[in-house]
Amino acid sequence: MKTNQITHEELSALCLELSMLFHAGVGAGDALALLTEESDAEYQPMLRAMAEQVDGGGTLSAAMKETGRFPVYVCGLVEVGERAGRTEEALASLAKYYEGRVRLDRRVRSALLYPAVMLMLMLVVIAVLLVKVLPIFDDVYASLGGSLTGVAGGLLALGRWLDGAMPVLWVLLAAAAVLLAAFAAMPSFRAKLTAAWRRRRGDVGIGRKMNDARLAQALAMGMASGLPMEEALDLAAGLMEDTPQGKARCLDCWARLDRGESVSAAMRGSGLLPAGACRLLELGQRSGAGDAAMEKIASDLLEESEAALEDKVSRVEPALVLVCSILVGLILLSVMLPLMHIMSAIG
């Protein structure tokens, strides 16, 4: 039976509660059992099964993977924490990370809702102008002994084509609406589409910035726990299972380290982290504070990725308004200017 992944809100709350129980000295199995008693009925079977697996000798990360409801990033970072002896810190870091994701998701939804509604309304206005209004102007021009030419004539032809293709367009519009509804209401369907996108475009642009932040966070935890860099890279590569390009960069960096390159040179040559981050890491290692430098890098990269995403979203609304306004103005000007010339010649 397929299961849905846990929401970001629930992930943040669960990781925070587990980290607090670990901080109080409660074992993983007992912590999961306590959460089972207090959680919603939806999550009780999952938490009970996890508690039984941990009590049977399994690790928390393995129990998370077994449920199939936790993201790769959560399972991987918890495994990093377990192997580094910093499970509590890993859970606290995950709680903070997904709390930020919840706030960011809310900002993104609120920022995109108004532009999306505006886009739909303007598309309706443009369609009405092309299909209903332009033919009226064409009749007016015909009664005056002229016809729509140039841009207006092309738009009139487009409007007639849209009018003839309206049944097909309605079917396509209904299919798009069903797809969007399924994407919003079915987490499993949404997860499949998201995973497919990550495999193809998940390491480009903002996705690359977010991957860099995830890798830096895992490396910072490994370095702070005294793990060898090669082992920390192996664990970080496990976080990139859903992004082949990111995993390839980790493996390339590991191979460069195996050939004797320095850590900063290997990261710079493989493109694992930005050049500025590599320079900061090199300075930190020379001063004996490499783990602190990596934590600073992880924090800066996370803030940079969130800022880049917010900046991208903030540009959507003005871009939509500008494009739609230009289209509407072009349609009206292409019709009204020739009409003004005709009326002035008549007058």
Give pLDDT, residue 1: 38
Residue 331 and residue 150 in contact, taking contact as beta carbons nearer than 8 Å:
no
Q: Please state the φ and ψ torsions of residue 86, each to the nearest 5 degrees.
A: -135, 50
Q: At what angle do helices 229-238 and 72-84 cross, to 10 degrees?
A: 160
Tokens of 148: 């729509």
**Of 84, 127, 333, nearest in space to 226 by CA:** 84
The tens digit of pLDDT for each residue in 48-92 reads 999 999 988 888 989 998 888 887 778 877 887 887 778 888 888
Residue 2's pLDDT band (boundaries 50, 70, 90)? very low
Residue 195 predicted with pLDDT over 70: no
Under 8 Å CB-to-CB from 78, ≥6 apart: which residues? 60, 61, 64, 87, 90, 91, 94
Residue 44 predicted with pLDDT over 60: yes
**Of 346, 341, 344, 347, nearest in space to 149 by CA:** 341
Give pLDDT, residue 342: 61
The mean pLDDT of 295-310, rounded to a whole number, is: 82
What is the separation of C-alpha 179 from the centre of its chain, rounded to a whole number of angstroms?
A: 18
The tens digit of pLDDT for each residue in 244-255 reads 888 888 888 888
Cut 0.85: pTM above it: no
Residue 301 and residue 213 in contact, taking contact as beta carbons nearer than 8 Å:
yes
Give pLDDT, residue 190: 63
Residue 19 predicted with pLDDT over 50: yes
Residue 270 and residue 227 in contact, taking contact as beta carbons nearer than 8 Å:
no
The mean pLDDT of 100-125, rounded to a whole number, is: 71
Tokens of 74: 């959560």
Give pLDDT, residue 262: 84
The tens digit of pLDDT for each residue in 133-173 reads 777 777 776 776 666 666 666 776 777 777 677 777 778 87
Residue 231 and residue 221 in contact, taking contact as beta carbons nearer than 8 Å:
no
The better pLDDT of the pair 159, 216 is held by: 216
Residue 36's pLDDT band (boundaries 50, 70, 90)? confident
Q: Please state the φ and ψ torsions of residue 274, each to the nearest 5 degrees.
A: -60, 160
Distances (CA, A) of 266 to 216, 247, 258, 273, 274: 14, 15, 10, 10, 12
Residue 288 predicted with pLDDT over 70: yes
Q: Which residue type occupies 329?
A: G
Work out the number of other CB atoms within 10 angstroms of the CB of residue 344. Answer: 8
**Of 188, 238, 189, nearest in space to 82 by CA:** 238
Q: Which of 92-96, 225-229, 234-238, 319-323 has the highest mean pLDDT?
A: 92-96
C-alpha to C-alpha distance for 296 and 246, rounded to whole angstroms: 21
Quote the Cα angle for 330-334-340, to 5°: 130
Give pLDDT, residue 345: 57
Percent of the residues in the chain that have a pLDDT greater than 90, as a whole number: 1
* Average pLDDT, rounded, for the chain: 78
By mean pLDDT, which of 101-110, 267-276, 316-325 is the weakest? 101-110
Give pLDDT, residue 82: 84
